């Protein structure tokens, strides 16, 4: 938890953790997560977790997991919600993201009841829709049981990303997409407020 003093009041700043499904330096999904971090700075603090350094899930060590896994579980336990920003790989989620979710689904199962918002961007026509559909199925599994917004109207699935992101490091710039994302993020914060 993070607290800010404002005059006499004590305001709690919401804290979210982002899991980004691409390790690529110039990943459009990483740039989307960075856009969200910057754009919603006044609404919540967003920390992008390092899921690339997690070892492969191994049941032999799950009762005594590596420190990187414990650190990620701790961050998620203490967060108000989770953003998953991911590319679609072969109509599903990248292995690096599935591996993180597999770790998180075991032991203290820190995603149960946790509000999770999914988002993704792709260069193609479907903007990760198939991958996010699969991700939603994974998020309902017994070890995860995350709480999500209903999909209708709440999808952040950005197609033809090269036309909607700036050059180089610059994030999402397409106004219509940003406006839609603002609406969905506000609904997600409402969902968090109910938990």
Ligand X SMILES: Cc1cc2nc3c(=O)[nH]c(=O)nc-3n(C[C@H](O)[C@H](O)[C@H](O)COP(=O)(O)O)c2cc1C
Minimal CA–CA distance to 153: which of 115, 188, 106? 188
Nearer to ligand X, 124 or 153 (CB): 124
**CA–CA dist 103, 106 (Å, integer):** 6
CB of 21 to ligand X, least distance (A): 7
Q: Per the structure block, which two tokens stand in for 139?
A: 């998020």
CB of 130 to ligand X, least distance (A): 7
CB of 151 to ligand X, least distance (A): 18
**CA–CA dist 101, 143 (Å, integer):** 9
Footprint of ligand X on this chain (CB under 6 A)?
Answer: 22, 24, 27-29, 87-91, 122-124, 126
Nearer to ligand X, 36 or 189 (CB): 36
CB of 67 to ligand X, least distance (A): 27
Nearer to ligand X, 27 or 105 (CB): 27
Nearer to ligand X, 89 or 191 (CB): 89
Q: Are 36 and 185 in contact (CB under 8 A)?
A: yes
**CA–CA dist 71, 100 (Å, integer):** 12
**CA–CA dist 27, 115 (Å, integer):** 25
């Amino acid at each position: 938890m993070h607290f800010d003093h404002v005059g006499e009041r004590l305001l709690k700043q919401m804290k979210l953790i982002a899991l980004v499904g691409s390790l690529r330096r110039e990943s459009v999904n990483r740039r989307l997560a960075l856009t969200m971090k910057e754009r919603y700075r006044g609404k919540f603090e967003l920390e992008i977790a390092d899921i690339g350094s997690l070892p492969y899930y191994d049941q032999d060590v799950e009762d005594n997991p590596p420190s990187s896994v414990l650190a990620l579980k701790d961050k998620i336990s203490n967060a108000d919600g989770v953003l998953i920003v991911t590319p679609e790989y072969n109509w599903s989620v990248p292995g690096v993201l599935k591996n993180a979710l597999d770790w998180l689904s075991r032991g203290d199962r820190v995603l149960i009841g946790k509000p999770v918002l999914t988002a993704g961007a792709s260069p193609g026509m479907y903007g990760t829709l198939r991958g996010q559909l699969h991700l939603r199925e994974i998020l309902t599994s017994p070890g995860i049981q995350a709480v999500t917004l209903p999909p209708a109207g709440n999808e952040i699935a950005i197609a033809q990303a090269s036309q909607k992101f700036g050059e180089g490091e610059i994030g999402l710039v397409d106004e219509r997409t940003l406006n839609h994302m603002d609406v969905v993020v506000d609904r997600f914060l409402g969902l968090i407020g109910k938990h």
